[in-house]
């Protein structure tokens, strides 16, 4: 009986050791979401807006509601389409802009898997701009890195 218990214990301990050593030790600690990083500046004073409200057109969620001094604003793009429309309210004045982009998959790591990067083709107003004076493209490749993509001057 003693031989059976010590043999079984050896098999169980060996099995646990094999299972633990076969798993990867790392977890995903990298950013996996890709956002357009948009900075907002007053056209003359270069200061951020006093109030920023941002939401997707025909969407239920508001990304920013009367946010103060947001730099940069993180704007999500939909990887299943090639365009997204957002409503911006800067200091109480509303504009609607549409992003056109292309999507491509990118492997982050074995632990984190894939995400979608985007290449920003163009941004156009749905109507004439009311508060926005101009939009500058800084980096048209939208990745998970913390790098500014566009500057919106109001």
Q: Would the pLDDT of 17 be above 70?
A: no
Q: What is the pLDDT of residue 151?
A: 96
Provide the phi-psi class of 83: left if phi over 0, else alpha when psi is between -120 and 50, else beta: beta
Q: What is the pLDDT of residue 20?
A: 54
Q: With the C-alpha atoms ordered 144, 137, 84, 65, is the resulting torsion angle positive or negative?
A: positive
User: What are the structural domain ranges in the chain?
Assistant: 28-153
Phi and psi, residue 20, nearest 5°: -70, -35
Q: Is 142 exposed, middle or buried (0-12, 13-18, 19+ CB in 10 A)?
A: buried
Residue 45 to residues 41, 42, 77, 80, 86, Cα–Cα distance (Å): 8, 5, 29, 38, 25
**In this structure, what token pair is assigned to residue 1?**
């009986």
150: Cα separation from own chain's centroid: 14
- The answer to whether 108 and 32 have CB atoms below 8 angstroms apart is yes
Whether omega for the bond prior to residue 72 falls within 30 degrees of 0, making it cis, is yes
Q: How confident is the model at residue 129 (pLDDT cuts 50, 70, 90)?
A: confident
The 10s digit of each residue's pLDDT in 101-127 is 999 999 999 999 999 999 999 999 988
Count of beta carbons in the 10 Å neighbourhood of residue 9: 10
Q: What is the pLDDT of residue 36?
A: 97
DSSP run (H or E) holding 17: helix 2-22
């Amino acid at each position: 009986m003693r031989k059976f218990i010590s043999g079984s214990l050896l098999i169980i301990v060996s099995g646990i050791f094999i299972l633990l050593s076969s798993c990867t030790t790392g977890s995903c600690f990298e950013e996996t979401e890709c956002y357009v990083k948009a900075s907002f500046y007053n056209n003359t004073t270069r200061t951020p807006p006093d109030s920023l409200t941002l939401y997707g057109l025909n969407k239920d969620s508001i990304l920013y509601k009367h946010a103060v001094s947001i730099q940069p604003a993180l704007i999500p793009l939909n990887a299943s389409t090639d365009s997204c429309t957002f409503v911006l309210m800067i200091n109480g004045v509303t504009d609607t802009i549409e992003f056109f982009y292309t999507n491509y998959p990118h492997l982050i790591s074995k632990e984190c898997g894939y995400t979608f990067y985007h290449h920003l083709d163009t941004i156009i107003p749905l109507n004439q701009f009311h508060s926005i004076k101009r939009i500058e493209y800084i980096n048209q490749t939208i990745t998970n890195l913390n790098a500014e993509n566009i500057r919106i001057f109001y």
